[in-house]
Amino acid sequence: MLADNRYPNFARPICEAARRRGVPVVLDGDKPTKEDDPLFRVASHVVFSSECLKATDGSNDLGEGLKRIARHTNAFLAVSNGPDDILFLQGRSICRVPVFAIRVVDTLGAGDALHGGFALALAEGRSEADALRFGAAVAGIKCSRIGGSAGTPDRAEVETFLAEHAVSLRVHG
């Protein structure tokens, strides 16, 4: 399940119901909040935008921000940062998933594309790092086109893109 933290009073009971049923909950950390936001404890995965994490944590160090949020949740934590690597926590280590070098035309909807791709890949059984790479491919393709949701690629386009950019994913800390 994919949820957004913009309307926490609406999202929380739905997320709680999903978790009770054993359904993973991916939370799009897009709206600045507080480090101990209850939604972070309900979600199984939280992927922040860099802007949200900085505003929530009060720091410009994204890795340290993830570590501070981790004090309040057992969720998998990651942060996207535009054209820079996606950071995520593995234990106490900060790891990186490289994003794709693309010619940016329009970033409207890029975060939603990343989150949707990540949630889909997780639902299909991919590891978190592989799911982040899949989400980065969806977002990268979307950014190479004009239009929010109209620029979102279909599954075949993402698979072709990943095949053309095939590298063994070496997550590095």
> pLDDT of 23-43, one tens digit each?
999 999 999 999 999 999 999
CB neighbour burial string for 112-140, b if at least 16 within 10 angstroms, e if fewer:
bbbbbbbbbbbeeeeebbbbbbbbbbbbb
The 3-state DSSP class for residue 11 equals helix
User: What's the one-letter identity of residue 40?
Assistant: F
Which one, of 69, 64, 78, 154, lies nearest residue 111 by Cα?
78
Residue 168, pLDDT score: 54
How does the average pLDDT of the chain come out, rounded?
Answer: 94
Residue 52 lies in a domain: yes
Residue 170 lies in a domain: no
Residue 166, pLDDT score: 76
Residue 160 lies in a domain: yes
Residue 171 lies in a domain: no
Residue 4, beta-bridge partner list = 28
Does position 17 have pLDDT exceeding 90, yes or no?
Answer: yes
Residue 66 lies in a domain: yes
Residue 173, pLDDT score: 55
Residue 143 lies in a domain: yes
Domains in the chain, number: 1
The 3-state DSSP class for residue 112 equals helix
End-to-end distance of the chain based on CA atoms, in angstroms? 28
C-alpha 121/C-alpha 116 separation (Å) is 9
Residue 11 burial (CB count, 10 A): 20
The stretch 117-134 carries a mean pLDDT of 96
The stretch 37-52 carries a mean pLDDT of 97
Which one, of 169, 143, 133, 138, lies nearest residue 155 by Cα?
138
- pTM of the model as a whole: 0.93
Least confident of 58-67, 98-107, 164-173: 164-173
Does position 4 have pLDDT exceeding 70, yes or no?
Answer: yes
Residues designated as active site: 112
Q: Which domain holds residue 113?
A: 2-164
Percent of the chain with pLDDT over 90: 91
Exposure of 119 in the CB half-sphere (CA atoms within 13 A) = 20
Residue 113 lies in a domain: yes
Q: What is the CATH number of the domain that holds 115?
A: 3.40.1190.20
Residue 172, pLDDT score: 53
Tell how strand 84-90 and strand 76-81 pair up: antiparallel
pLDDT band at 5 (very low <50, low <70, confident <90, very high): very high
Does position 61 have pLDDT exceeding 80, yes or no?
Answer: yes
Residue 11 lies in a domain: yes
Q: What is the DSSP letter of 35?
A: T
